[in-house]
Amino acid sequence: MKGIILYTSKYGATKRYAEWIAEETGFDCIETKSARIDDVKQYDTVILGGGIYASGIAGLSFLKKNIGQLAGKKIILFCDGASPYEEAAFQQIVEHNLKGPLAELPCFYCRGVWDMDAMSFTDRNLCKMLQKAVAKKKPEDCEIWEKALMEAGNTKHDWTDKSYIEPILEAVR
């Protein structure tokens, strides 16, 4: 089986997961922005990974644009974020992003990193504004991602763990 992993990684977690998957599968691994559909369609299996930003999965636009040219391929998605896994929240992400021909694709969640110092000016300020808004809520009224946002604060966290790729590897098999 010949496969490729495409990834979009702003802060390193998605790249780390893509590289771990490549190590385990022997698949090629490239950034989505460097991918050309004529090259990608030569593979039997396509894995696409991206971080979650404002409820969107980074890099998914490549797949949306080219899904018709990947008919008959095994396509697997994964995304990562700072929040701990919570089924209802993850299903909202899936439903928001995977519509039409993407709706039936398997998608997996891996927990990522949080580092305010490494964030872009825009991302850092958006997170600070979110933290201020969430701070006004009662803790019991917060969703899991809001609790995680407040717990992370300004401290650096790395929740990446190789065990998160096991379901992805199982889907490849």
Number of domains into which the chain is organized: 1
Examine residue 105 and state whether it is found in any structural domain, yes or no: yes
Per the structure, the complete domain to which residue 163 belongs is given by 3-115+157-172
**What is the pTM (predicted TM-score) of this model?**
0.86
Examine residue 136 and state whether it is found in any structural domain, yes or no: no
Examine residue 149 and state whether it is found in any structural domain, yes or no: no
In CATH, what number is assigned to the domain containing residue 47? 3.40.50.360
pLDDT for 161: 94
Examine residue 162 and state whether it is found in any structural domain, yes or no: yes
Q: What is the mean pLDDT of each run of 10 residues along the chain (173 residues)?
A: 94 96 98 96 97 90 95 96 87 93 95 86 85 88 80 84 97 95
Placement of tokens 């009224």 in the chain: 141
What are the tokens at 19? 């590289």
pLDDT for 125: 83
The CA-CA-CA angle for residues 112, 115, 119, to 5°, reads 105
